[in-house]
Amino acid sequence: MAVLAESGSNPDVGLLYDINGLARDAPHWFDRATAFVGEYGLLLAMVLLVLWCWWSVRRRGGEDAVSSVAALVWAPLAAGLAVLVNIPIRGFVGRPRPFVDHQGLDVLVPGKTDFSFVSDHATITMALGVGLFVANRRFGVAGIGLALLEGFCRVYMGVHYPTDVVGGFALGTAVTLLLYPAAMALLTPLTRAVERSPRAGWIVRSRAAQGRGQDRALMPGARPSLENEERDLAA
């Protein structure tokens, strides 16, 4: 398929030159740092943010712990699935990297030989960010912010057009949200079963959160469980 952006008059290409031009005026150490952050650092930050959210959810406990942990499990699964969906898209569009067709770009990460549309980095980070937002709004806002920063870095580094990044954002969001109901229908019962396991229950709730739940159940005036009600009726 023909290249999506073929001339400098294209707004996509113009924005590419404007953002990548910032790298030409920046200190060398800043470009090196941005290249590392855009290639590896933000992906690692997203993984750590998901883990931090999981740690916070399990420590707090609460009635929504099962659904929140299930959503956190779905976030990386959605990111991986979105990348798989992107494989045929990249092959079908066949858009070369911007530095192949446009001269004068400051390419901070050389050696990219695959196609440009859609950006895998933008897809992964946005899928994780949206998945985080579904599980926890506060962590989700931070995750989406990191995804937007990743998209900017990919253009700044000269390895993607802006529309590659926008396409990645759209793909990651679509896969995460469209398949969310089916994913939760499968993951929520599994997470609930893990919660009830004596050995693996800590994955969903910390020991302290489990203890608080038991204390609330034993408080005077607390509503008896369904199991206890059935036992009393049988008696």
How high is the mean pLDDT in each 10-residue block of the chain (235 residues)? Answer: 48 90 90 94 95 88 83 95 94 90 87 89 96 93 97 94 96 96 94 84 71 49 45 44
Please give the Cα distance from 190 to 169 (Å, whole number). 29
pLDDT digits (tens, 9 = 90+) for 155-187: 999 999 999 999 999 999 999 999 999 999 999
Name the one residue in this structure whose structure tokens are 């929504």: 64
According to the model, what pLDDT value does residue 78 have? 96
User: Which CATH number is 20-199 given?
Assistant: 1.20.144
Report d(CA 53, CA 15) in Å as an integer.
35
pLDDT, mean over the chain = 84
Task: Give percent helix, percent strand, percent coil of the chain, each to the nearest 5.
Answer: 75, 0, 25
> What six digits make up the tokens of 210?
């489990």
CB atoms within 10 A of CB 62: 12
Question: Are the beta carbons of 93 and 154 closer than 8 angstroms?
Answer: no
pLDDT in tens, 119-158: 999 999 999 999 999 999 999 999 999 999 999 999 999 9
From the list 163, 149, 119, 136, the residue with the least C-alpha distance to 42 is 149
The pair phi, psi for residue 62, each rounded to 5°, is 90, 170
pTM of the model: 0.82
